[in-house]
Structure 1
């Protein structure tokens, strides 16, 4: 017969709740997932219940060799509760990042609490451990953010596209942008924002000149709208608002097609091209367009 301190289990479950929530939040932040607070809290609470039950099972001696499977299964269920998963591939990516953050955070925490140059292990109260865990998570997510973000950006968020109009085509890279909600007011088709300089030689110079004039705040006159009948039918004027600019108009046009260059080219749903005349969309030139997520719904 041995003493059991259930209050220690409850306190440990509470600490587990906090750390689970922070790890789930960091995973969602890096993957740019919808981080609904109630879902994160429900998933974190599920993990804390597992911790409490584990303490109980350890006390009565029912923990077996299969515990690792239960631990992994609990983690996967937490991710399913926390984030809507659209595919197995997306779930595996989420699991991989969550596991990476868990391992890195635990490693940094252990090093900070028990550095190799300490002559003997020191005693820390639970709140000190929580504080160090939080600091470790901040170190992993913020200092390591650049590398993680770059890898995820290049692997999962950049898409090669090919635009065709009047027999001319141009290939470029687009960033998946869930915040791009621009639509053509006439057709309600989504707008693919593309740097205007990328389309030189594909779009007539007078179209690019008009786009530049509108970007500077000028309005087109009759002379500026003297295009061929084909291009007159393609032109669109798109109203938008953005940070630092209360309201403006983006010159757009309707292409013949835009294809996603995967293993086999896949034609995207009807789309309008918005000509972007300001600074480069991708600061380092990694992408030249902003791809609305709604366009991928018709492909995958």
Structure 2
């Protein structure tokens, strides 16, 4: 089989560039095109060198390839801290393995065949560029799925916070979602409103208020105002208009808690100027959270 040195080097240059580009995207690093091209050229020249010098076995060793990877990361990204360097190197290897897996898949399905030697894939016939296109499509799909999973997990970890609510010397704990679209406020005091599921609040609420929601009468304004006006907690309850949560021109029953605490134990914040709005439906389809917090409450 004839091996064209220039074609092989060009193929590796393109793949190396894409691997480095993916690494930069995952690490959210701003890298100039010139640096990406330089790193890709170094990797491609290494492949060309070991083809031209097949007797120099030292360049085929694992240590040589690791040192090459370190050198490529150093000249492409120039990480300033060792932790960042290690993370970048790890993402670089993960990206490389994804591309390598796509290349192996192509070799398996390619009718003309091919083989791998010393870490380099050789393809028979005129399939080199088809392999590259196939690899790019496969890698694009894998990375898109992988990225969406990571982003989803990071968002959940960042936006879900533990909350403690106290009312009438009783306390409940629940998980809340920081909702950037929640700017709901009490129209009388301009205090931000935290929306919480009724089911999560039952232990705190007076019996007469629980009866409103148990009978699904929270939208009957006359009935609600009559019940609240007769409650000994009259001064702590509010009626809050809203235009969200799947309903136009709705009304939430809210109350002033003793306090709420937001965050983990080590960085918990005590907040008193807040209204808790009672929502008689589920806020999360998978029960991950029971309340919605406006960003103003966690700023």
Which has the greater radius of gyration?
A: 2
CA distance in 2, matches of 1:99, 1:175: 34
Q: Determine the structure 2 residue equivalent to 1:272.
A: 275
Quote the offset at 1:242 in angstroms: 3.6
SS of corresponding position for 2:137:
helix
- Residue 202 of structure 1, CA deviation: 1.1
- 8 Å Cα contact 1:158/1:287 also seen in 2: yes
Please list, as runs of the form range in 1=range in 2, the aligned pairs for 1:62-73 lying within 5 A after superposition. 67-73=72-78
Deviation of residue 111 (structure 1)?
0.9
What TM-score does the superposition give when structure 1 sets the normalisation length?
0.63
Shift of 1:117: 7.1
Rounded to whole Å, the distance in 2 between the matches of 1:293 and 1:164 is: 20
In the alignment, structure 1 segments of 5+ residues that lack a partner are: 28-39, 77-91
Counterpart pick for 2:128 among 124, 129, 143: 124
SS of the residue aligned with 1:108?
Answer: helix
Matches of residues 66-215 of structure 1 in structure 2 within 5 Å? Answer: 67-73=72-78, 104-115=94-105, 118=108, 119-120=114-115, 121=121, 122=123, 123-125=127-129, 126-141=132-147, 145=149, 149=152, 153=156, 155-210=157-212
TM-score (norm 2): 0.63
* Partners of 1:12 and 1:51 within 8 A in 2: no
Contact 1:16 1:47 in 2 (8 A): no
Root mean square deviation, CA, Å: 4.6
CA 271–124 in structure 1, closer or farther in 2 if over 3 Å, else same: farther
Question: Is 1:48 the counterpart of 2:52 in the alignment?
Answer: no
Question: Matches of 2:238 and 2:173 in 1, distance apart?
Answer: 21
Q: Cα 1:117–1:70, aligned 2, differ >3 Å: closer, same or farther?
A: closer
C-alpha distance in structure 2 between counterparts of 1:73 and 1:212, whole Å = 62
In the alignment, what sits opposite 1:31? none
In structure 2, runs of 5+ residues without a counterpart are 1-5, 47-67, 109-113, 116-120
Q: Could you tell me whether the CA contact under 8 Å between 2:161 and 2:175 is conserved in 1?
A: yes
Distance 1:22 1:189, change over 3 A: farther
* C-alpha deviation, 1:138, in angstroms: 2.7
CA deviation after TM superposition for structure 1 residue 258, in Å:
0.2
Give the superposition deviation at 1:58: 7.9
- Partners of 2:143 and 2:90 lie apart in 1 by 11
* Distance apart, 1:227 and its partner CA: 3.4
